[in-house]
Structures are given as C-alpha cells and as structure tokens.
Amino acid sequence: MADKKKRRRAAHDSDSDSDALPFKSKLKPDSVILQTLKNLKASSAASSSKTPTLADVGLSTTCREVTDLPIDEVQYNIGSVMLNLARSILAGEGFSFNVPSRSSANQLYVPELDRIILKDKSSIRAFSNVSTVRKTTITTRILQLIHQLCTKNIHVTKRDLFYTDVKLFQDQTQSDTVLDDVSCILGCTRSSLNVVAAEKGVVVGRLIFSDDGDMIDCTKMGMGGKAIPPNIDRVGDMQSDALFILLVEKDAAYMRLAEDRFYNRFPCIIVTAKGQPDVATRLFLRKMKMELNLPVLALVDSDPYGLKILSVYGCGSKNMSYDSANLTTPDIKWLGIRPSDLDKYKIPEQCRLPMTEQDIKTGKDLLEEDFVKKNPAWVEELNLMVKTKQKAEIQALSSFGFQYLSEVYLPLKLQEQDWL
C-alpha cells in the first residue's frame, strides 16, 4: 500500500515538473534526438569538401591574404624590410613604410568564400610626416621586438609587448593596432610573430587533444573546462566521438551546460570565448571543425551583438580581414536564441529587454551587410528584432527554471532541427 502511494506521488511530481517546464511534454526520447544529430553529422561530413580559396574564386579585384610562416622566414622578411629602409635613407628618399590599409573601404565580402577579405590598397607611413612620425616609430620598434622573439624562439602576450616600451606606446591599443599592421607588412599571420593574446576561451566535452605533448581529456576538466591554448601551434592529435560542436556566447550559459554534463546526454564539444571572440578561440574552433568534420551550432543572445559575434566566427572581423582564411569557421548554424524564439517559447515580458537607440542602429547596420543579406532567414529574424524593439539574453530562459536551457530548450531545438 505504501509503495503504491509512493508511486502515485512520484507520478504526480513528474506531471508537476512537466507542467512547470513549458514545452517539455513535446520532447521525444533522447534516442530520437540522437538519431537526428547523427544524421546532421553525416550530412556535414558529406558536404565538407575542400574549402575554396581566394585563388579558386578568381576575383577581378586584387586582394591580400597572409599565411603561416616559419620563424626563419619571418626573420628574413623583417631583414628585407629594414634593408629597403636603409637603401631608401641612403638614396635620400627618406624613411617610410608601405602599410596595407585595413579601413572599411578596403574590405570586401566574397559570397563564394562567405568571409570578409582585404583588398590591396595601401598607404605610405613616412617618418618625415608630422601626422605619421609617431606611428612610424612604433612600427619600427614592433619590428625590432618581433625579430628578438624570433631569434630567441619564445612567445609573449600582447600585454608583455606593450610593457617593453610603455613610454612610446602609451596605450596598448596602439601597439596592438601596429602589430596587426606588421602582420600585413610581413605577409604572415599574427601567431607567426610569436605574439599571443592571454588565455580567454574554454572548452569542455567530448574532445581529447594534445597540448604541447600533454594529452588533455576535456570530459575530465571539471565544470570550468580546459583553457584554450593561446598558441594554436602546440595543439594537435584531436580525437572526438561528439556529434556536433556547440558554440556558446556567454560564460554563464557555458557553466550551466558544463555543470549539467549536457555533453554526455547529447555527445558534443562545448566552447566559449566568454563574449567577444578572441583569436585563439577562433583558431581553435576552426581547427576542430576542419579536423573533426563536425557541424557547429551557435547559441548567442537575441540581440544585434549576439549576431555580430556569430558573424565574426563565421565570416571574420573587419579588423583582421587580412587573416580571415585562418580565423573563420565555415557553415556555422544559428541555433538560438533568435528573435522568433521569444514568442515561440513564451519568454515572459519582464525578461525581455527594450532595445536602445544604439541597439536598433546596430541592427539596421547589420541588415545592410552583405553576409547578412546572403541569408534570407537571418534578414527575417533581424527585421523582427528591429520591428519589435525587443532583445533577450540566454539567461532569460532561467525564468522557467535554472536547468531549462539544458533540459528543454536545447533538446527541443535539436529535435526540431531548428537552426538557420
């Protein structure tokens, strides 16, 4: 008799849970969702043919791209630049650098590549010009420091580089900007310069890889996960039984999924840059995608900046368009949270935030971008966002329960194949 009462109470509790979590009753058994994900993975692997290059497209416009170069070639290129400067000075022609322009006017979105590239326009940075003398000096100093790093074969962070000459650089943004200019001048990726950003991104889930010879199992890294190595060259031997990669914008959502061991219920690799994408996370994501042939699904906030972050991973940033071939991950699918989800999943009004004038302007500017226009479904979602003037964070789902994201929202999205 007591057992029957317990069973009735348990059944009642289960029904109450279903009532408390909207749309949970729509979920099918995990085996059905897993089969959907297996089909997605097979489809992604079948379509992952050779990624087209700039040469394959055959553009009429001359464009500029950089490549990974070994240390000796970087040193040689620096030597060549300095030798040309010396010849120019001796010839009485002054001291100047020919610097590729990274302005918006010199950017080009190529639909066939689905990424932003840098055109071939450049400008003269002369030591004799009052407006450019300081930047010319910084450029020379950065080249000297890079040559030292290559000679010693050591890596430093951008912050370390800044502190070598604070009086000259004054602000780290100035040394960072010139560092990108130097990459363009030398024709190499920024990682080839032995300068890295501080560790920011993290990864957890069904991934094993070697980090400078040490094997890392990302299922055994706890809730915090494994920090993504700032130097992608030391990452190798990637192995995984995951069905997809889940790219998460926010650290809070990442922690929820990691603590709930979402990657065990639905085999996946979860990665986040904790906001704005850093170079190391972008390189790591591309490496996983290309080596493991896994589909990438993105979970970002329902606001213009969430979509901008997604576009940086997929199409590249204008600031580093010269290296978009190495930094972009093709065919990232927008899983959520999308503007249409706010009504579809009945997100409470008090959890929706009014868009500011700047938000609306950013949304309208995105609608003018070629990489958005290419995808009609993205245009539809953005138009809805601008029309309703509402935005929402991933954490808005917590209004239904702290684990609603991992227990209902994401499983239902995967079940319905609701991605763009």
What does the H/E/C string look like for the chain?
Answer: CHHHHHHHHHHHHHHHHHHHCCCHHHCCCHHHHHHHHHHHHHHHHHHCCCCCCHHHHCCCCCEECCECCCHHHHHHHHHHHHHHHHHHHHCCCCCEEEEECCCHHHEEEECCCCEEEEECCEEEEECCCCCCHHHHHHHHHHHHHHHHHHHHCCCEEHHHHHHCCHHHHCCHHHHHHHHHHHHHHHCECHHHHCEECCCCCEEEECCEEEECCEEEEHHHCCCCCEECCCCHHHEEEEECCCCEEEEECCHHHHHHHHHCCHHHHCCEEEEECCCCCCHHHHHHHHHHHHHHCCCEEEECCECHHHHHHHHHHHHCCCCCHHHHHHHCCCCEEEEECCHHHHHHCCCCHHHCEECCHHHHHHHHHHHCCHHHHCCHHHHHHHHHHHHHCEEECHHHHHHHCCCHHHHHHHHHHHHCCCCC
- In order of 101, 213, 256, 323, the CA distances from 319 in angstroms are 10, 33, 32, 9
163 is catalytic: yes
- Give the closest residue to 315 by CA, choosing from 360, 261, 277, 357: 277
Catalytic position from the list 76, 163, 305, 345? 163
Any binding-site annotation on 370?
A: no
Output the six-digit token pair for 41: 């993975």
Would the annotation count 249 as a binding residue?
yes
What is the radius of gyration, based on Cα positions, of the chain? 25
Distance CA 174, CA 176 (A): 5
Q: Which residues are annotated as a binding site for Mg(2+)?
A: 249, 301
Catalytic positions, written as ranges: 163
Q: Which residues are annotated as a binding site?
A: 249, 301
